[in-house]
Amino acid sequence: MSAPPYSLMGVVNVTPDSFSDGGLFFDASAAVAHAFELVGEGADILDVGGESTRPGAQPVPVREELRRVLPVLEGILASGIAGGNASPRVSIDTSKAVVAAAALDAGASLVNDVSALRADPEMAGLIAASGCDCCLMHMRGEPRTMQSETGGEGGPRYEDVVDDVRAFLQERMEHAVREGVREERIVLDPGIGFGKTFAHNLTLLRRLGEIVALGRPVLVGTSRKAFLGRLIADGAGEPEPVDVGRRLPGTIATNVLAYERGASLFRVHDIAPVRAALAVAAATLG
């Protein structure tokens, strides 16, 4: 049987404050056990992060981020469940070159940088020298400020959100290549929910093909996000957005739609149901 034309990235949050599962896997042994579960469900990549990137999140010092993620990375890689040629790969979700370097030394092979190499001037050179893959994401400002960045009370504003995101990702990809990162190592992420309004998120999903046209694999991360809570509540006639425990149907729907529009990498909390939905979508679309 041939490999599917998509990959699933399982979320391993080693944080006390992530919006969907903050604190559930803060203990290293719990995080490693969760990684085992994600692999059992079919995760192709395990994305380990020690700093929350939810709206309003506060920065985490380097020492603390290392303290959180290194035991988890070492536990995953020592177990043999990830890192080999035929097994899931390990990604480090960080914008700090020191943390990325330690993760790569431990056996990670992908750096998922939500700042798109802007937060740390050493990151591009590290990625280039290591030859690892990287994911460059669009975000205005930083997690602490992204939902108000340049937008005042109305939130983030764009002339045209898709044109602006596409231009940003094009520029960051060109920057990475100038710094020695091989283009074939780059994945692009439009940053759903990062410095975007409800309408911006829907527009990006609707016109995702324009991001795919940049020619690199596109990662989509809609899993359990707030705009899905609002959409589901609106559909049910409920006045308040539904909580994260009821957002799986929206996660599945947006990932299937993103796949149909050309995305090929999906960062999710719930691997098994999303993988099943994508299998059906792939068979239907041929």
Instruction: Catalogue the active-site residues.
Output: 225, 267
**Nearest residue to 196 via CA among 143, 244, 269, 239:** 143
Residue 7 DSSP symbol: E
b (16+ CB within 10 A) / e for 173-195: beebeebebeeebbbbbbbbbbb
Could you tell me the two tokens for 81? 């469940």
112 DSSP β-pair partners: 93, 135
Q: Are 48 and 77 in contact (CB under 8 A)?
A: no
Neighbouring C-alpha atoms within 13 Å toward the C-beta of 163:
4
- Check: CB of residue 86 under 8 Å from CB of residue 109: no
Tokens found for residue 206: 């609707």
Please state at what angle helix 97-106 crosses helix 62-79, rounded to 10 degrees. Answer: 20
CA distance 200 to 202: 5
Burial of 38 per CB tally in 10 Å (0-12, 13-18, 19+): buried
Counting every residue, how long is the chain? Answer: 286
CA dist list (Å): 155 to 53, 97, 114, 146:
17, 30, 19, 9
The values of phi and psi at residue 203, to 5°, are -65, -40
The DSSP code sequence of 49-66 is ESS--STTPPP--HHHHH
